[in-house]
Amino acid sequence: MHLPEEMICLVLAKLYYVNPPLNAPDYSTLSACALVNSHWRGPSQTLLFRRITKEATPAFARFADRTSNKALLSHVRILSIALTKDNAPRPIGVEVCRMSTLLSILRHCPQLYELGISAHKLFSLGSEDIGKIATALRDASITIRSLRLLECSVQSPLLYELIGLLSAVQFLYIGVEIAAPPPSWTPAIQLYELILQRTPTSQVLQWLLSSSTASLRILELRDLPSASTCMDIAECCSHIQSLRLMRYNAYSAAILLQCTNLLELVLLNIPTIASLSLPSSLEHLALLTQTYTASVDLRTVVEAVESLPQLRILTFVGDPQDILQAACDAKNITLQTTSRKFWVIDDPVKATRFPRRQSVSNFYLMS
């Protein structure tokens, strides 16, 4: 007797994201499930191959070169690599992906959707490698929609090289400070989502958004915005549907005021130094309080719950008081609470409603 495949897939979907704090895939359990029997092997391997991490890249590349199971390789949607040149010395303690290895992987993964890249020192692809990657992408009919730049030198031109190479990117995560001046050409990318770990210079931000004024829907700022940030994103604000602010100041408040069609607002802690003026269009408000030792004044939150006509969901990290639950009950608003500190983790797919979730079902949208 064995479970139907539909039931197996439901079990595996529950297992996939269980590792706190980042909800990383549970590769150990998935690997064990793949060994149960033939009925579990297929669904388990499908999920095992969805995301290839930096640490697994060298082993995966060797496997991809040797296997005849092309269907298995077509399940890969997300690839993270620590990129280096073929003739460069290997950094200590880092599983690097050399340029030749990347080209080999690209030939085997036609459904690749997201590429995450880390690079050491003042790394540059150069025209020869850019040409080779472009050829590999074209030959395999790969369209990269999501790009994550996780590490590089502040003066590296890598970001600009990747944007020029991957013109179909709609989801962009920049996890480093970028000080290198942008090139003179206008990027073709039309961003749906932009996540900035550090606030770039005005020149860089204007360049990044130069073709995304009408397309940007999700903006996440993890650093304090400046006066120039407000001006640089002003033309995008009326189109933004989800705004995530990890730090809040007067300029954050000014940005919020410009987002007149906002559906989701995510804040780290409840602002105290600037007023919280919320648009009436808001459907999801997330307050991720990180300081439990100090008392939290919920009056601002209760006022928001009572005044927002479209609010459907309130996400609150911390210990909610009865007054907050009562306010939500009175307006038929769903209160989602947890004591575990976290930041927003979701998938790079276009949202139909907010909050956008992290789910294995999103892999089917990554094509």
Q: Is residue 334 part of a domain?
A: yes
This prediction's pTM: 0.93
Q: Is residue 162 part of a domain?
A: no
Write out the residue range of the structural domain in which residue 288 sits.
283-341
Q: Is residue 57 part of a domain?
A: no
Q: Is residue 69 part of a domain?
A: no
Q: Is residue 311 part of a domain?
A: yes
Q: Is residue 226 part of a domain?
A: no
Tokens matching residue 334: 């769903």
Q: Is residue 305 part of a domain?
A: yes
Give yes or no for a contact between 348 and 114, defined as CB atoms under 8 angstroms apart.
yes
How many domains does the structure of the chain reveal?
Answer: 2
Give yes or no for a contact between 78 and 47, defined as CB atoms under 8 angstroms apart.
no
Give yes or no for a contact between 26 and 32, defined as CB atoms under 8 angstroms apart.
no
Q: Tens place of pLDDT for every residue, the chain, 367 residues?
A: 578 888 888 888 888 877 655 566 788 888 888 888 888 888 888 888 999 988 888 888 888 888 878 888 999 999 999 998 887 777 677 788 899 999 999 999 999 999 999 998 888 998 999 999 999 999 999 999 999 999 999 999 999 999 999 999 999 999 999 999 999 999 999 999 999 999 999 999 999 999 999 999 999 999 999 999 999 999 999 999 999 999 888 899 999 999 999 999 999 888 776 667 899 999 999 988 876 555 677 888 888 888 899 999 999 887 767 888 899 999 999 998 877 777 888 899 999 999 998 888 898 899 8
